[in-house]
A and B are shown apart, each in its own frame.
Chain A
Amino acid sequence: MKGTIQVESKNPEATIRGLFAQWLKDGKLSAILTPAYSAAGTATVALVSNPEKLAEAAPLLPAMGVNAASIVDEIARDGSPNAKVGLFLRPCELRAVVELMKLKQIAHESLVLIGVDCPGTYKAAGFRNVRGKDADFDNKHVRDQAGYADNVNFRMGCQMCEHSKPLVYDLNVGFIGMDPDTELWVEAASDKGKTLLEGSEIQEQDEPDSRKQALEKLSAARRAKTARRIEELDKAMMGPEKLVEYFADCLNCHNCMKVCPVCYCRECFFDSDTFQRDIAEHVRVSLRKGATRMPSETMLFHLTRMNHMMLSCVQCGICEDSCPVTIGLATLYKKVSQNAQSEFDYLSGRNLDEPLPLVTFRESEFLKVGEE
């Protein structure tokens, strides 16, 4: 089922809130995980269960402090017959949810995936200054940014994002290539999604060409920007000398790992006893080169993290936002993960049925590896 729904009084955000209210009242969902304004007017995420409280929900809020897949990972490790939670998430968040489902960290059972278009977001930190006191900020964002590919104030991950429409969803709520003052695009891709749309007034139709073209144009512009950014990155990062310089300020705080939605181990290998050395051991290692950088093994941490996570990386860039010494991780991980995933014709979060590249193999592939 796909088509458009009417937007009342030029307020798409309120229209989506209206859908939320309906779903909660009808008991189709017991709660909805949605972006919301924090007490300080910045971005947070709320699990709303009472339709009366929906005023706090801001489904189109264009700021991101955390990739909400991390939250889903916390709350939905197991399903329950007593809960049906709608996840109202951005494309990169849904992609991470899909990866975590494949990694058996999230149970699909109690969840309905509702994906919203996203032309890009601001960092949550400082967002209150961007938004000011403008109550209509979210709707303006949807109106003005949907066809605009090059907002340099967006988060770095967003500036290079080519997936403004969700890849996997039960229900897609869209506005790119539409006139969001009058109508929104809705598309159910499963029975769960169809159930949500039942009872709503939908003008059934195929996806308008204007929407397809707008999405393609946005992706093309972002791909071009990504190529330019990677070209600059290569000048600053390629090779052992520059790579070590690139990570020279690393504090070993492991924030990039902690905020990463797809970094799923309950205890990181790098926080384990394997990396605890006593003082004699430190001296012994230091003697090898005459000196050891402290904190030690930061380069090992980053290179290993790449090896462990790049096939599931959804390129949300939340790692860069969380880095206290502003290491340019978003562009670096964009490049490394794109290259790594293309080796296996894989795209993270594209398809729930596509196996993770490292849990499968074919006998007649990569025949040169190991032979020469």
Chain B
Amino acid sequence: MANYEPKIVGFLCNWCTYAGADLAGTSRMQYPPNMRPIRVMCSGAVDSVYILRALLEGADGVFMGGCHPGDCHYVSGNYKARRRMVLFNSIMKSVGLDSDRVWLRWISAAEGRKFADTITEMTEHLRKKGPSVFKEKWEV
């Protein structure tokens, strides 16, 4: 694909990562515009169906951001998100799909720098990997 720009769907927790993204913005930090942020109340509230739907419809990557372990606004949502991620990765591996396109990261409201760096890193990572096979594959 000639003009390949990675397309990332991001699920950002309202209390930490979304605020971290906000801080990156208000601090005028530069990072690639490849991620479409979706604000969710908790990383533990993101069902696998939304990650899978994004991937199967052709997103090159899915980013999930939550509070650091121990800092969840709802006490344990991110621990549950972590377990669900383990399950998700196991299933992707079992059927031979690439779970390397789905990133879960803990980014607090104070970590604007970390947010900008992580999105930059993920965009570059996906640029190297090339477009997702599901971008063209319509028979899913």
| Chain A interfacial positions (CB closer than 8 Å to B) | 234, 237-244, 248, 269, 285, 288-293, 297-300, 303-304, 306-308, 310-311, 332, 335-336, 339-340, 343-344, 357-358, 361, 363, 365-366, 369-371
Contact = CB atoms under 8 A, between A and B. Distances in A.
In this complex, the member of A241, A300, A311, A369 whose beta carbon has the largest number of chain B beta carbons within 10 angstroms is: A369
Contacts of B91: 303, 306-307, 310, 336, 339-340
B95 A237 contact: yes
For the complex of A and B, 3 pairs with smallest distance between CB atoms: A238-B96, A307-B48, A361-B79
B83 A366 contact: yes
A339 B94 contact: yes
21 contacts: A237-B95, A240-B98, A240-B137, A242-B96, A291-B138, A297-B140, A298-B140, A304-B47, A304-B52, A307-B91, A340-B87, A343-B86, A344-B83, A344-B86, A357-B83, A358-B83, A358-B84, A363-B69, A370-B82, A370-B104, A370-B105
A150 to B, nearest CB: 25
Chain B interface residue count: which class?
35 or more
Contacts of B129: none
A304 B48 contact: yes
A361 B96 contact: no
B37 to A, nearest CB: 18
A100 B123 CA distance: 42
B137 A370 contact: no
Interface of B: 47-49, 52-53, 56-58, 66, 69-70, 76, 78-80, 82-91, 93-98, 104-106, 133-140
Nearest to B85: A369
Contact of A310 (B80, B87, B98, B137): B87
A81 B124 CA distance: 64
B52 A303 contact: yes
Contacts of B96: 234, 237-240, 242-243
Contacts of A243: 95-97
B80 A361 contact: yes
A88 to B, nearest CB: 33
Given A298-B140, A361-B76, 20 more contacts: A240-B134, A243-B97, A288-B57, A289-B58, A289-B135, A297-B53, A297-B140, A299-B56, A299-B140, A303-B56, A303-B91, A304-B49, A304-B52, A307-B84, A310-B87, A311-B87, A344-B86, A357-B87, A371-B105, A371-B106
A369 B86 contact: yes
A363 B70 contact: yes
A306 B53 CA distance: 14
A303 B57 CA distance: 13
Contacts of B97: 239-240, 243
Contact of B106 (A240, A242, A285, A370): A370
Contacts of A369: 82, 85-86, 89, 104
